[in-house]
Amino acid sequence: MRSAVTVLEVSPRDGLQNEPELLSTGDKLKLIDHALDAGCTRIEVTSFVHPTRVPQMADAEAVCANLPQRGDVAYSGLVLNRRGFERARATGRLQEICMVVPASDTFGARNQGQSVDESVAVGLEVLTDARRAGLKTTATIAVAFGCPFEGEVELKRVVAIALRLAEAAPDEVALADTIGVGVPSQVLEAFTALRDALGGGVALRAHFHNTRNTGIANAFAALSTDVATLDASIGGIGGCPFAPNATGNIATEDLVYMLDRMRVTHGVDLERVLTASHWLSGALGKPVPSMVARAGGFPRA
């Protein structure tokens, strides 16, 4: 079991992208400020996608332009293609680029208009150019644990995609359970296979959704592998606009509560995350899915 892990806050991007309520740029920056106040050192702040397809991310450049620049945090932008990367690089305000490649052709066609092979080819170019630009790079494989259109995704296919992307020497490879179908045994098998295939030169990251109530269990399983970073979203909001019935990420406060009780070091303050979660609930005008936001932390004597 790992004794330390990084919690990567994704609520400004994956959290908001599937919400019907469009938050203002100012409120998105307030959410990011809350994450900073809670001690988050890696934050995925936006995605550079077509504004008509994902209107929640239409202000990506405006969000980046107003990010507080400080030496103790790395801001990340998600991209799906060359155009998105050029937009992200042009902001000059990000430290990390996350390139997403699908594990199934049908999801790739629905999500980014590309087959797996086409997306890998673009990904290799983007990851290489981002590294040359001095940006930290993450290659994320979407629907790695199951596809809403094709069903089961073979692990050997996921590992093969990771090996192809590794040719661009990304700093990190992430597996995403985009539709929340994964279970702990899959997590253990997948990340063990990934580490065996990639060796120790690349960090591993996990992105789980709690659609079927297995997200936190999957995060626990990931701690038993070589995963160094776990994604989470304040309030547990989120989902993919192009996957049917997709629901939220694992909640940051739920994850932090578990890590605290397990004495796993992570650097995020639970009480401040709860403050952020309650603020976000008000901003969205509805309760958030998080369990700890409802129950609170461990009761004081």
Give the residue numbers annotated as catalytic, written as ranges.
Answer: 240
- Distance from chain centroid for Cα 178: 9
Of 28, 4, 34, 33, give the one whose Cα is nearest residue 14: 28
Of 179, 163, 56, give the one whose Cα is nearest residue 106: 179
Task: In whole angstroms, give the CA distance from residue 198 to residue 210.
Answer: 27
**Residues 194, 77, 92, 114, CA torsion sign:** positive
Task: Report the alpha-carbon angle 147-197-217, nearest 5.
Answer: 50
Task: In whole angstroms, give the CA distance from residue 174 to residue 144.
Answer: 9
Of 33, 40, 31, 47, give the one whose Cα is nearest residue 7: 40
**Residues 273, 275, 276, 277, CA torsion sign:** positive
Q: Where does the chain show beta strands of DSSP type E?
A: 6-9, 42-48, 74-79, 96-102, 136-142, 172-176, 203-207, 227-232
Residue 235 token pair: 């309030």
Type of residue numbered 290: S
Eight-state DSSP code of residue 69: P
Backbone Cα Rg of the chain: 17
Distances (CA, A) of 143 to 148, 177, 218: 8, 5, 15
Residue 216 token pair: 């936190």
Task: In whole angstroms, give the CA distance from residue 23 to residue 248.
Answer: 17
